A = this chain, B = another copy of it.
């Protein structure tokens, strides 16, 4: 296959899950990207529209098995495989091929921490050493030249975007941070499980993974870097009846001299030029419905009635800024394209 002009030639591995679907949706409007291969082991041989009929209008190759992909004819791989599997697959890719991994496999720089939380030794520690954590607004300079980018988790994106700059700016203490997060159901993936059936989920909410969710060490890694010392957080995720969206309500202690107002200003300063991070006006409350389908992160700051404390509210679409949108943003950064390319679509509300 001849390369079409200046298009980035792309494969999406594990394309039958929600993050795969979102990558295709976003890339369909990307003038510099071309999806050359889509893999899904169980669905190999079928058209992509068989797993995602809403995208039947996009011209795409059929689904194949990973071993059928001609990786030599590609520039970039988006890897949407389950954790564990990913390490081995990525280890087997040509060294010249750039990789954006949407799994958790390369997010934790410390392979011991990985082993402790995931229950097995890391299978590609050398690759891990070269992986760059892809929280675009924070790690942009390291992402641009990277070969392997570990795209952040959805909860860690939501939590770190407000917290990292405030810790770095000395506006809040890194102690006793409580992150109460509410997620839509796509965050739990597309695998069929009884507890994810419509009738089990509708009209209810519950916490899960309390004090043992694997996104906790990822958040702590980012906050520890910002604080330059080990940070432990409370991270309590909840599942609720919506498809997309995460709202993190974060309860923090103010540094001496800081206030909700100074926090808001510090965030405005930090994110003033960012196209996707928006500090909402004082008194406004970030709502997940206002970012649906978009790459935006909305952040609000409120004074707490408890003296010396503040409340941060952070909202994203977990499948876009929390996964595939940030992955495309990282691709744009890696290939020297404007970061907003293919991400200009506005949120869909209602």
Contact = CB atoms under 8 A, between A and B. Distances in A.
Contact of A238 (B184, B247, B303): B247
A195 to B, nearest CB: 9
Nearest to A206: B287
A205 B346 contact: no
A32 interface: no
- Dominant SS at the A interface? loop
A198 B185 contact: yes
Contact of A311 (B176, B216, B236): B236
Question: Most B CB atoms within 10 A — which of A192, A199, A305?
Answer: A199
A194 B207 CA distance: 23
A53 to B, nearest CB: 5
Contact of A192 (B58, B192, B304): B192
Given A190-B194, A197-B192, A234-B251, A347 B55 contact: yes
Interface string A5-35: 0000000000000100100110011000000
B234 A289 contact: no
Interface stretch (A128-136, A163-171, A222-230, A290-298): A290-298
Given A53-B287, A54-B290, A206 B247 contact: yes
Contacts of A206: 247, 285-289, 313, 315
A345 B205 contact: no
A57 interface: yes
A233 interface: yes
A173 interface: no
B238 A182 contact: yes
Nearest to A286: B206
B344 A211 contact: no
Given A186-B199, A203-B289, A242-B203, A309 B210 contact: no
A205 B302 contact: no
Interface string A234-252: 1110101111110101010
Given A232-B305, A293-B348, A204 B238 contact: no
Interface residues of A, number: 87
A38 B303 CA distance: 35
Question: Most B CB atoms within 10 A — which of A28, A293, A313?
Answer: A293
A57 B296 contact: yes
Given A178-B178, A302-B211, A28 B346 contact: yes
Contacts of A345: 29, 345
A184 B348 CA distance: 15
B53 A284 contact: yes
17 contacts: A53-B280, A54-B292, A54-B348, A55-B347, A176-B176, A178-B178, A182-B205, A190-B194, A196-B198, A198-B202, A199-B350, A204-B292, A207-B313, A210-B313, A211-B305, A232-B306, A292-B348
Interface of A: 18, 21, 24-25, 28-29, 52-58, 176, 178, 180, 182, 184-186, 190-194, 196-208, 210-211, 216, 232-236, 238, 240-245, 247, 249, 251, 278, 280, 284-294, 296, 302-307, 309, 311, 313, 315, 344-350
